[in-house]
Structure 1
Amino acid sequence: MVEFTIESLDSADVERLRGIFGPLTESVRDLIDATIRTEVDADVVAVAKAEIDAATARLRSRQLDGAFGVRLSEGGQMPWGNPVIGLRNPVAPPLVLHRAPDGGKYADFHLGAAYEGPPGHVHGGMSALILDHVLGEAASSADHPRLTGTISMRYLRTTPLGDLHVEARIVRSEGIKTYAVGHLSDASGVTVEAEGVFISPKWAR
C-alpha cells in the first residue's frame, strides 16, 4: 500500500513514488494516444473498454478527496497534477524544465496526436498553456512565486506536431510585477512568441 502523507516524505520516499506513479502515467498517456489513433473493430473496442473500466475502478478504490494540489516534501514542491509538468497527469506532455545560463527556463519535448488542433499541428490553446506555464516558471523562484497577471501571444505560423522547444526569461521587475518573454519553436524556428506580466500574490509578499 502507498501511504500518501506527502508532507512527511523524504527524498527517498519521493523517488519511490516516482517509480510507482510515473510508469502508470506513461501507460495512460500511451492509452490516450492509442485511443485517438486506433482503427480496430468494434468488438475489440468493447473488450478494451471493459478492461479500462475495470482498471479505473481499481484505481478509484482509494483516492484523494479533490485535486492533487501542490504538495511539499523534504525535497521541495510536488506539482504532480499539473497539466504541463505533472508526473501523475497523463494530459501533460510532460515538460521537464531546465535553467538556462541567463536564469531563464527551457524545455525540449514532444507533442503527439492528443494535442492536435489544425490537422498535423498543435492546438493554439496548447501552445498558450505551455508558454503561460514556462513564462511563469521563469518569472518565479522557489521562495518568490509569481502568478499570471496578463499574457499575450503572437502566432507567427502553425506549430507542427512533433519535437519542440520552449524557452522564457525575465525582461525586468518593477515592485510586485515581473515582465517575462518567451517563445515556442520547432526545427525551422520560432512559431509562437509570448510576453506577460507576472504578479507576486499577497500571500507570498
Structure 2
Amino acid sequence: MVEFTVENLSVEEVERLRGVFGPLTESVRELIDATIRTEVDADVVAVARAEIDAATARLRERQLPGPYGVRISDGDQMPWGNPVIGLRNPIAPPVVLHRADDGGVWCDFHLGAAFEGPPGHVHGGVSALILDHVLGEAASSAEHPRLTGTISLRYLRTTPLGDLHAEAGIVRTEGIKTYAVGHLADANGVTVEAEGVFITPKWAR
C-alpha cells in the first residue's frame, strides 16, 4: 500500500513553504546547469565546491530520515519530491500540468543541459519518465488514483532540448484498467508517442 503523510497545514502555511523552498530548488536547478556547462579554472571550481559543501552541511543540520513522500494538507497532495513535478526536487524540469475541459492533461516545459542524451537532444529515458507521469495523471483523479501497469513508447525522431509540450488522455476504462495515450512534441510536431495501461491499486478499490 502507498502511504501518504497527512499534515494539518493551512493554505497560508503551504504557500509560505512554497515561498521558502521553491526558490531554493530553483537555485539548485541553476547550479546543476552551471555545473554541467561551466568552463572556469580549477581554482574557481575549488572555491565553488567549498561553498557548495558548506551550504549542503547547513541544509543537513535538520532533515527527514527518508524520502519526502507525498503529503496531503487540506485535501491537496504535495508530491514535492517527485522527479517530474516536485517543488523541492531540482532534477524536476519542473512540469506543471493542466487539466483540459475534456479531462485530458497537458503541459509546456523546458528541458536544458541536465536532460541531454544524444548531443543537443533529450535522453530517451527522460522522455519516458515525463510521458509516464503525464499519462498517469491523465488516467487518474483525486477519487481514482491509478498506477502504471504497462507503458510503451514509439520514438518518431530525436527530441531537441528546449521548449516542449506533452499531453495525454484516456481512451477507455475496463474494470480496474484504464488505457491512456499521449505524446511529447516540439515546435515541429510529435517526437514521441506513448500508450499505457494504468491500474487501480487494491488499496484504492
TM-score (norm 2): 0.97
Letter of the 2:135 counterpart? L
* Residue matched to 1:160: 160
The Cα offsets for residues 43-78 of structure 1, whole Å up to 9 and x where unpaired, read as 000000000000000000000010000001015100
Aligned-pair identity in percent equals: 84
Alignment of 1:21-36 (within 5 A): 21-36=21-36
Letter of the 1:111 counterpart? L
Q: Identify unmatched segments of 5+ residues in structure 1.
A: none
Question: Equivalent residue of 2:12, what SS?
Answer: helix
Question: Equivalent residue of 1:190, what SS?
Answer: strand
Instruction: Give the distance between the partners of 2:77 and 2:113, measured in 1 at CA.
Output: 30
CA contact (8 A) 1:157 1:192 kept: yes
CA contact (8 A) 1:11 1:75 kept: no
Question: Equivalent residue of 2:26, what SS?
Answer: helix
Aligned length: 201
* Residue matched to 1:179: 179
* Residue matched to 1:143: 143
The Cα offsets for residues 54-109 of structure 1, whole Å up to 9 and x where unpaired, read as 00000000000100000010151000000000000000000000011211000000
Letter of the 1:37 counterpart? R
* Residue matched to 2:199: 199
Instruction: Give the distance between the partners of 1:75 and 1:89, measured in 2 at CA.
Output: 22
Instruction: Give the distance between the partners of 1:156 and 1:102, measured in 2 at CA.
Output: 26
The Cα offsets for residues 126-153 of structure 1, whole Å up to 9 and x where unpaired, read as 0000000000000000011000000000
* Residue matched to 1:13: 13
* Over 3 Å off, 4+ runs: none
The offset of 1:120, in angstroms, is: 0.1
2:192 is equivalent to residue 189 of structure 1: no
Instruction: Give the distance between the partners of 2:107 and 2:192, measured in 1 at CA.
Output: 15
The offset of 1:194, in angstroms, is: 0.1
* Residue matched to 2:66: 66
The offset of 1:171, in angstroms, is: 0.1
Question: Equivalent residue of 1:192, what SS?
Answer: strand
The offset of 1:197, in angstroms, is: 0.1
2:86 is equivalent to residue 86 of structure 1: yes
Question: Equivalent residue of 1:8, what SS?
Answer: coil
Question: Equivalent residue of 2:87, what SS?
Answer: coil
Letter of the 1:58 counterpart? R
Instruction: Give the distance between the partners of 2:183 and 2:24, measured in 1 at CA.
Output: 31
Letter of the 1:114 counterpart? A
CA contact (8 A) 1:104 1:167 kept: yes
* Residue matched to 1:128: 128
Instruction: Give the distance between the partners of 1:44 and 1:6, measured in 2 at CA.
Output: 44
Letter of the 1:121 counterpart? H
* Residue matched to 1:102: 102
Q: Identify unmatched segments of 5+ residues in structure 2.
A: none
Q: Assess, with a 3 A threshold, how the Cα gap between structure 1 residues 63 and 6 changes in structure 2: closer, same or farther.
A: farther
Question: Equivalent residue of 2:7, what SS?
Answer: helix
Instruction: Give the distance between the partners of 2:130 and 2:101, measured in 1 at CA.
Output: 21
Instruction: Give the distance between the partners of 1:75 and 1:32, measured in 2 at CA.
Output: 33
RMSD: 0.9
Letter of the 1:170 counterpart? I
